[in-house]
Structure 1
Amino acid sequence: MEITDVRAHHIRIPYDAGVASFRQGASAITALDMVLIEVLTDAGLTGWGDAFAYVCPRTTRSAVEEMIAPQARGMKVPDAAGIPAAMEQIQRNLHLFGRYGITMFAISGLDIALWDLAAKVQGVPLHRLLGETRRTAIPAYASLLRIGAPDDIAAECRKALALGYGAIKLHETTTPAVLAAREAIGPGIPLMVDMNCPLTAEQAIAFAASCRDARPMFLEEPVWPPEDFAALAEVRSKGGLGIAAGENACTEYQFRQMMEAGAVSHAQPSVTKVGGITEFLKIVALADRLGVKVVPHSPYFGPGLLATLHLLATREDGLVEMFYLKREACLWGGRADSDATGHVAVPTGPGLGHEPDRGVMEHYRVA
């Protein structure tokens, strides 16, 4: 079976986050941009992937079309055992353009699509190729966008719990915000705090001390720059709280640097960023050897979400991250949403398990 074409689809689905906001610099983001990768074959099978593209969809799409598609067209579709070697060769071919950022986002999309194809050829769900199926549904946590006001944070936390979510993540940088969330959800609900890299190590240590009574599971990316693993390790050792990072890291190599520095208690590989499923599997194996917990970065609505569910299905622990917002449409007909018990079902169909709704794709396509 041979790849005949690789297509990149820019999809933009508006959403309503209520009192919360998602910002890039001074601009509020009111729609979720996705770049779906469609890999077509001469056997009639199609594989779907997902390249990270929140605020750079045109750039990611160009990377797929200019770098990835020429590498993949005419390529024999590898089986599961052959995907790592095929993807390493593509990484080698494209290393001039960097092994992090946009290049790896585009590579990630192709890798996910190849795994989707490999499982479809076997007629099994992806998690069956990846290992023993340990879970059929994954507990989800509500990933709240930035809110700011403690009273509003408390109210949104209570709403999320009422919808069935069993854990909460904030995107906040103030102690009153964290304390308000803990008071609202009570002592038994896991609470995480994503800071998005604002502080020095000294400031982060002070922040950790100030919100220790709220007992967050971890502070996520508290320091700038995010690749300052020595600073993260210092915050972890002196701040008294768990530290999570990884959504801004790519490849097993960079995660190895992070973990060997003692920077994190929780690693957060993002399947649409790190190099796809192939690199994700390497990172998870490394984390298990080094005693680091894995909590993937996964606030997606495309194939990256499905891939994350399959990857977590082979593990006995780990939560799936779900953006806490109301989107205008769903590529999967609502089949990849959290249910009343706060779980997301692992797809059982061949490959990723669901095919994207082409009607939705066409309606929300960006030319």
Structure 2
Amino acid sequence: MLITNVRAHHIRIPYDAGVASFKQGASSISALEIVMIEVSTDAGITGWGDAFAYVSPRTTCTAIEEMIAPQAQGLEVPDAADIPAFMEQIQRNLHLFGRYGITMFAISALDIALWDLAAKAKGVPLHRLIGVAKRTRIPAYASLLRIGKPELIASECETALRQGYKAIKLHETTTPAVFAARQAIGAGTPLMVDLNCPLDGEAAIAFAHSCRDAAPMFLEEPVWPPEDFATLAEVRAKGGLNIAAGENACTVHQFRQMMKAGAVSHAQPSVIKVGGISEYLRVVALADELGVRLAPHSPYFGPGFLATLQLMSLRDDASFVEAFYMKRPACLWRGRIDVDTNGDVEVPQGPGLGYEPDKAVMEQYRVS
């Protein structure tokens, strides 16, 4: 089975996050920017992948078209056991463009698509190609966008719990916000706090102490820069709270540096950033070896979310899947990845990633 074409698709679906807002640098994100890769074969089987693209979808598309497509077109689709070595060679071929960021996002997309193809060729869901599923449904936590005002945070938390979510994650940087959420959800509901890398070590330790009585499950990425693992380890040691990080890490090599430094209690590989499924599985093996828990990063709605569900089904570790808390007018998967009233997301059971994208939705929301 030969790869005949590699194509990037930019899909832009607006969303409504209510009282929340989300800013990345100077850009306000008002829509879900999804960059999918479509890998066609001479056998008529298509593989789908996903590349991180929040505020740079055109750049990510260009990386797929100019770097990834020439590396893959015309080659034999590797068997599942050979995908990691195949992708390792592509990493080597492209290392001059950087081992992180856009290059690795584009590599991630191809890797996911190859695993999708390999599982479809066998007629099995991805999880069965890798191991034995231990869960058919994954509990979700509501990943709230930044709100700011404690009273609004409390209201959103209460609404999310009524909708069935079993846990809450904030994207807030103030102690009143954390305590407002805790008071709203009660003592028994897991609460996570994502700071998005704003603090130095001293300030991060102080923040951890200030919100310790709210008992967050972990603080996520409290330190700038995110790759300062020595300072992150100091915050973990002196702050008295668990620390999560890894959504901005690429390849198992950076995760090894992070874990060996003692920087995290929870590792957060993002399958559409870390290097795809192949690198994700390497991170999982390393985390198990070093006794680090997993808390995958997955606030997206493309094939990467399906891949995350497939991978999480292989572990009976009570981990949650991250779901952005927002309303959107359309779903590439016809609503089948929505969180149900019990707060769960069903693991797809179809071949490959489990579902095929809705072509009508792709065309309606396509950016040319």
Q: Which residue of 1 aligns with 2:160?
A: 160
Structure 2 portions without partners, runs of 5+ = none
Q: Which residue of 2 aligns with 1:246?
A: 246
Q: Which residue of 2 aligns with 1:3?
A: 3
Q: Which residue of 2 aligns with 1:45?
A: 45
Q: CA deviation at 1:24?
A: 1.6
Partner Cα separation in structure 2 for residue 324 and residue 33 of structure 1: 16
Q: Which residue of 2 aligns with 1:143?
A: 143
* Residues 235-269 of structure 1 deviation map (CA, whole Å, 9 limit, x = unaligned): 00000000000011000000000000000000000
Q: CA deviation at 1:26?
A: 3.4
Q: Which residue of 2 aligns with 1:180?
A: 180
Q: CA deviation at 1:22?
A: 1.0
Q: Which residue of 1 aligns with 2:290?
A: 290
After TM superposition, the runs of 4+ consecutive aligned structure 1 residues lying more than 4 A away are none
The one-letter code sitting in structure 1 at the alignment partner of 2:152 is D
The one-letter code sitting in structure 1 at the alignment partner of 2:123 is G
Q: CA deviation at 1:328?
A: 1.6
Q: Which residue of 2 aligns with 1:129?
A: 129
Q: CA deviation at 1:130?
A: 1.4
Q: Which residue of 1 aligns with 2:278?
A: 278
1:98-137 mapped onto 2 (5 Å cutoff) = 98-137=98-137
Partner Cα separation in structure 2 for residue 209 and residue 129 of structure 1: 44
The one-letter code sitting in structure 1 at the alignment partner of 2:141 is Y
The one-letter code sitting in structure 2 at the alignment partner of 1:337 is D
Q: Which residue of 2 aligns with 1:361?
A: 362
Aligned Cα RMSD in Å? 0.5
Q: Which residue of 1 aligns with 2:190?
A: 190
1:30-69 mapped onto 2 (5 Å cutoff) = 30-69=30-69
Higher mean alpha-carbon deviation, 140-149 vs 19-28, is at: 19-28
Q: CA deviation at 1:27?
A: 3.1
Find out whether 1:323 has 2:324 as its counterpart.
yes
The one-letter code sitting in structure 1 at the alignment partner of 2:322 is E
Q: TM-score, normalised by structure 1?
A: 1.00
Q: Which residue of 2 aligns with 1:229?
A: 229
Find out whether 1:81 has 2:81 as its counterpart.
yes
1:335-346 mapped onto 2 (5 Å cutoff) = 335-346=336-347
* Residues 43-68 of structure 1 deviation map (CA, whole Å, 9 limit, x = unaligned): 00000000000111000000000000
SS at match of 2:67: helix
1:197-208 mapped onto 2 (5 Å cutoff) = 197-208=197-208
- How many equivalent pairs are there? 367
* Residues 128-171 of structure 1 deviation map (CA, whole Å, 9 limit, x = unaligned): 01111100000100000000000000000000000000000000
Structure 1 portions without partners, runs of 5+ = none
Partner Cα separation in structure 1 for residue 171 and residue 296 of structure 2: 16
Partner Cα separation in structure 2 for residue 137 and residue 172 of structure 1: 29
Partner Cα separation in structure 2 for residue 348 and residue 249 of structure 1: 29
Q: CA deviation at 1:351?
A: 0.3
Q: TM-score, normalised by structure 2?
A: 0.99
Partner Cα separation in structure 2 for residue 148 and residue 36 of structure 1: 32
Q: Equivalent pairs: percent with the same residue? A: 77
Q: Which residue of 2 aligns with 1:349?
A: 350
SS at match of 1:327: coil
SS at match of 1:183: helix
Find out whether 1:21 has 2:10 as its counterpart.
no
Partner Cα separation in structure 2 for residue 24 and residue 108 of structure 1: 22
Find out whether 1:269 has 2:269 as its counterpart.
yes
SS at match of 1:152: helix
Partner Cα separation in structure 1 for residue 271 and residue 198 of structure 2: 24
SS at match of 2:50: strand
